[in-house]
Structure formats: structure tokens, C-alpha cells
Amino acid sequence: MKVVIVGTGYVGLVTGACLAEVGTEVVCVDVDAEKIARLQNGILPIYEPGLQEIVVRNQQGGRLSFTTRLATALPGAEVVFIAVGTPPGEDGSADLQYVLQVASEVGALMDHYLVIVTKSTVPVGTAVHVNRAVKESLYTRGMIVDYDVASNPEFLKEGAAVNDFLKPDRIVVGVNTLRARQKLEQLYRPFLLNGHPILFMDIASAEMTKYAANAMLATRISYMNDIANLCGLVGADINQVRKGIGSDPRIGKHFLYPGIGYGGSCFPKDVKALIQTGREYGYRLRILDAVEAVNEDQKQLLFQKILRHFDGNVSNKKFAVWGLSFKPNTDDMREAPSLVLIRSLLDAGAMVSAYDPVAMKEAVIYLGSNITFADDMYQAAEDAVAVLLVTEWNMFRIPDWPRLKGLMRSPLLFDGRNIYDDVELVKMGFTYYGIGNTAATPVNALLR
């Protein structure tokens, strides 16, 4: 089967590469000529573990190609995926202009049956607009060509996207004809071999599933951040509480980690867009309003703790930031909590030296020359009054503590992800702050 994927961003590229990996003929299309030229030479616009190898292998195998021209890609294709961006508009709603533009172009060029699938995260009801855009283009040409629209949201985690695609928990497909269902079942058959289910449903439900999943996960995080903050006040240990509640299979142990707020390209945008959809229909999603509000506060938390420690004066003090990307294994800086923290520190007159194993090139775009980018984690900490652990990359997990202590101006650590053994650190002479209360805080230490 041949498929066309429009948009070679994160989702489009992973989808194209992974479909090619199981033998599908894939043509990826993008308007960005420079990006396409680089992809043709095996240079990827993003960092994603395992993706480079798959792209190159399938390009060499003749199953994956890149072009700027939709017209040359469409002949012989059976499915077209729309995987272009849906940036948030001013009110938080997803901006659909690129999606609808692609739908119009497909309508303007198609001459045989196609399943036109939205892969981008789009608000409930978008398929109706996509359908209209295709129909209008066909009408303008005076053409009658059969086609179906479908919705196939992705559930890829950055840093694990290839694995998520190749071994999906589930594949959600919204269709309203048997023909489209059969086509997409055929396309996804190679991924279903190990019992991974494909869930067919109506189109609106598929569109909603994506938002409901992300909003639920964001809710868990804000909930845990709230509980962690309360633990800090009452003297309970959030790590113990997390284990305690996560052992209940109804709750489950994943996605219960408090931190400095969720970021990335999905949660902030999708929570906002779902709230906005509610508004459009006259329904206020009160839980999600709170999820957002907690997250905004949480992004400020580490800075507040720092200010409190230094009695409000951080001016001309050097802080080492470990990790910049919104989470490990990605260079994505979109909505990264590190940006909020760093900007607050700079505004307060502090100096920042940062290290991230992958995201520094991307971070320059956001932070320019306002901070120093160090060659490694220890260089970042030289003469620093505190180390701020922001992103839990594995390389930060077991530092050479004595070396670190020797380099720093004062042995002070703010752990934005609760990854360190606070009791050990306190024994080694560090002053430690985590998220919420942890074992080393006085009330718990008394019981040891």
C-alpha cells in the first residue's frame, strides 16, 4: 500500500518512518524545501531516539521518500495523512488553517479514491471542516471523486515515539464508512500482531479520545503536584505517598511524579484547547481550569523556594541548571518549565549556567546569550551557589557528589524532579530542597 504524509514535523516523520519500516510505501510531503532537502540527505529536524536509523534504512530501501510536491506524491496513494501543525491561537483554541489548507490541496489534486486521515491533534468536529474543504476543492474543479475522511490521533511520547508507534497500546481510528475502516485496518495490520488492539469508533469520539487522554494525564500531574505541596506543609513524604497510592491498580503507578510542572508540545496546548472547546459549547471544564492553574503555579515553585532560601536576594549569584528540555530524551524546549525558572532568575539579577546533553542548541533560540551554556554538568556547577535539577536525564542521576561539592560555592541542591536520595545528600553536607516534603526534612528525620 502507498500512503502520503503531509507534514514532516514530529508526528508526520515518526508516522512515515514507522509505516515504511513495516513495508508500506511512504511519501512525506512538506512545504519547507530546506527541511525536505535535509531529510533527503538523512538529516532529521528533531532528535528522537532510533528515528534516524529507521529513516535512513527505509530511504535506502526505497520505501520512504521526501518531496515538497503533493501533486507528485498523490498518484497511486490510498491513504493521505494530514500531520501538519495546529498551533494554539490567542484564545487557546487550536489553529486549523494548515490542516484545512492541506485538505483543500488534496481536493484540488486527487483523481482517485482516498482515505484522508487527520493525524494532527484537532478539536472535536474538525473532520466536518476537513470534509467541507475537500468537497469545495473538488466542486471548484467540477470533479466527482469518492473519498472518506477519518481521524487517527497519535499517542506518541517524545523520546519514546518510535517504540510507541511500533508497539502501540492501542490504535484509535474514527471512521464513518466500512471502506475507510478496511483500508486503515489493512494499513495497521502489521502493528496488531502482538495483540495490540485497534479501536474503531465514530470520528468525533476518536478526536475526543486524544484530548481526553492527554487532559487526564495532565490532571494526574497537577493533582500530584498539589498533593506534594500539601505534603510539604503537613510533614508527609510525597515519595511514600506516591508509592502508597500507586500500588492500587485502579490508580496505577505511572504518571504520579510530582515535579516543576508539565510542559511540551501536547499537554499545555491540549488542555487549553479542550477548555476552549468546552467554552464554545457553553460548558466550563472546571477540573481542567484547575489543572492549568496548578501547573502555572508549579512552574514558579522552584524559583519561590530559591528566593525563600536566599531571603529574596539572588542578585549576582550564579545558579547551575541541569537539564533544559521539557523532559529527558528530547531536545524539545516548547513550554519547558526550565524557561520559566531561568527567566525568573535572570529577572531577579541572578546568573545562570546551564547544561543539557541534547537541548542546548534548541535552548539558544529561546534564551539567546542571556545565560552561559556549559560543556558539561560539572563545569555548569563551578562557583555556583546552587544546582537546580530541572530535567531528569539519566546522566544527572548519580553525580560525583564530592567533586560537585568541591566545585560549588555552597553545597545546595534544588531537585525539581525528586530524583535524589535526600537523606544521603544531607549526610554528605548538602542542603536539599525537593518538590513537596521528603524524608530528609526535619519532621521525618526525627523518626529515623
Residues at the interface with ligand UDX (CB under 6 A) = 154-158, 214, 217, 221, 255-257, 259, 262-264, 266-267, 326-327
200 is in an annotated binding site: no
Q: Give min distance, CB of 291 to ligand UDX, in A.
A: 12
Taking the least distance from each CB to ligand UDX, the nearer of 154 and 331 is 154
Taking the least distance from each CB to ligand UDX, the nearer of 220 and 405 is 220
383 is in an annotated binding site: no
**190/337 Cα distance (integer angstroms):** 38
DSSP assignment string, 207-248: HHHHHHHHHHHHHHHHHHHHHHHHHHHHT--HHHHHHHHHTS
Q: Which of 330, 326, 264, 325 is nearest to 47 (CA)?
A: 330
**67/340 Cα distance (integer angstroms):** 38
259 is in an annotated binding site: yes
Taking the least distance from each CB to ligand UDX, the nearer of 262 and 432 is 262
Taking the least distance from each CB to ligand UDX, the nearer of 206 and 256 is 256
**437/229 Cα distance (integer angstroms):** 7
Is 33 exposed, middle or buried (CB count within 10 Å of its CB: 0-12, 13-18, 19+)? exposed
156 is in an annotated binding site: yes
**181/148 Cα distance (integer angstroms):** 10
Q: Which residues contact 214 (CB under 8 A, 6 or more apart)?
A: 121, 266, 267, 270, 271
The answer to whether residues 388 and 320 touch, using CB atoms and an 8 Å cutoff, is yes
Bridge partner residues of 116 (DSSP): 80, 149
Q: Give min distance, CB of 376 to ligand UDX, in A.
A: 23
Residue 158: φ, ψ to 5°: -60, 140
Q: Which residues contact 54 (CB under 8 A, 6 or more apart)?
A: 17, 18, 20, 21, 162
299 is in an annotated binding site: no
Taking the least distance from each CB to ligand UDX, the nearer of 205 and 379 is 205
Taking the least distance from each CB to ligand UDX, the nearer of 78 and 335 is 335
Residues in the chain, total: 448
Q: Give min distance, CB of 326 to ligand UDX, in A.
A: 5
Given 18, 28, 231, 266, the catalytic residue: 266
209 is in an annotated binding site: no
Q: Give min distance, CB of 229 to ligand UDX, in A.
A: 13
Using the 8-state DSSP alphabet, how is residue 94 labeled?
B
C-beta nearest to ligand UDX: residue: 266
- Catalytic status, residue 266: yes
**19/390 Cα distance (integer angstroms):** 35
Q: Give min distance, CB of 331 to ligand UDX, in A.
A: 12
Residue 210: φ, ψ to 5°: -60, -50
Q: Give min distance, CB of 312 to ligand UDX, in A.
A: 27
Q: Which of 329, 268, 273 is nearest to 299 (CA)?
A: 268
Q: Which residues contact 322 (CB under 8 A, 6 or more apart)?
A: 354, 355, 356, 377, 380, 387, 388, 389, 390, 391, 393, 396
Q: Give min distance, CB of 358 to ligand UDX, in A.
A: 14
407 is in an annotated binding site: no
Taking the least distance from each CB to ligand UDX, the nearer of 122 and 138 is 122
Bridge partner residues of 433 (DSSP): 414
296 is in an annotated binding site: no
263 is in an annotated binding site: yes
Q: Nine-digit cell at 74?
A: 498523490
Q: Nine-digit cell at 108?
A: 484540488
Q: Please give the positions annotated as active site.
A: 266
Residue ranges of the binding site: 30, 35, 86, 121, 155-158, 210, 255-259, 263, 269, 327, 334
Residue ranges of the binding site for NAD(+): 30, 35, 86, 121, 158, 269, 334
